[in-house]
Amino acid sequence: MIHSKWLPGPAEYLPVWQAMRDFTEARSADTPDEIWLAEHQPVYTLGQAGKPEHVLNSGNVPLVQCDRGGQVTYHGPGQVMAYCLVDLRRMNLFVKEYVALLEDVIIQVLGELGLAGACRKAGAPGVYVPVSNLLPQHRLATQPGSDGLAKIAALGIKIRKGCAYHGLALNVDMDLAPYLGINPCGYEGLQTVDLRSCGIQATVVQTGELLSERLIQALEGDPV
């Protein structure tokens, strides 16, 4: 049985990251899996092999280089984090299968909240929505060669002794301006959006509870 809990917040990033590492290091083959839900205080995080040049202007937002995969992203109030502390070996899940599962769950949750058209993009983990789904005032001019997709959820994971930590970030109702200070996930000009800019009214708590429920169903092997 996977246990889910909310962390007090908005939480500082560094203590949560350290707690995830401590939990993973201390766990045994019998340790139950957990999902931690959180909102963070504003922070940019750069993945283990992240390139600093993708940080354009961090301003007053702190930058943390952490041990997840991926490039640079932003976390802040109005975004729900789902940290999945799960034993992939016990679930017989390979990393690619696990990433696909996370993306599938996000896409389903977005659909249940009323946002159609969410999709994945080959070679670029995460979940995207067509720019045409955005409210008119939130649509930016697309650049030549643009695929017409904007990012609404990011993934970043770390595997240690067959166990995963870190997880996913889903934008609900947030200040999106800090994304202009980076190349999100290493992609220049990638527009980042949230549920509100797509016309969906939901709170972080509502979204997090639904996300947690669907993640647990999927990870425990129940049909979603």
Q: What is the pLDDT along the chain (224 residues), one digit of tens a residue?
A: 899 999 998 999 999 999 999 999 999 999 999 999 999 999 999 998 889 999 999 999 999 999 999 899 999 999 999 999 999 999 999 999 999 999 999 999 999 999 999 999 988 899 999 988 888 877 765 554 468 899 999 999 999 999 999 999 999 999 999 999 998 888 888 899 999 999 999 999 999 999 999 999 999 986 44
Q: State the catalytic residue, choosing from 66, 84, 163, 185.
A: 185
**Domains within the chain, CATH numbers bracketed:** 3-219 (3.30.930.10)
CA distance 80 to 7: 11
Q: Strand, coil or helix: what is 93?
A: coil
CA distance 111 to 125: 19
Tell me what pLDDT residue 224 has. 42
Residues 137/199, Cβ–Cβ less than 8 Å: no
Residues 7/35, Cβ–Cβ less than 8 Å: no
Of 104, 105, 77, residue with least CA distance to 194: 77
Tokens matching residue 51? 């390139």
Report the chain's terminal Cα–Cα distance, integer Å: 16
Tokens matching residue 2? 């996977």
Tell me what pLDDT residue 222 has. 63
Tell me what pLDDT residue 223 has. 45
Tokens matching residue 116? 């159609």
pTM: 0.94
Instruction: Give catalytic status of residue 198 as yes or no.
Output: no
Alpha carbon dihedral 24, 25, 28, 34, in 10-degree steps, equals -20
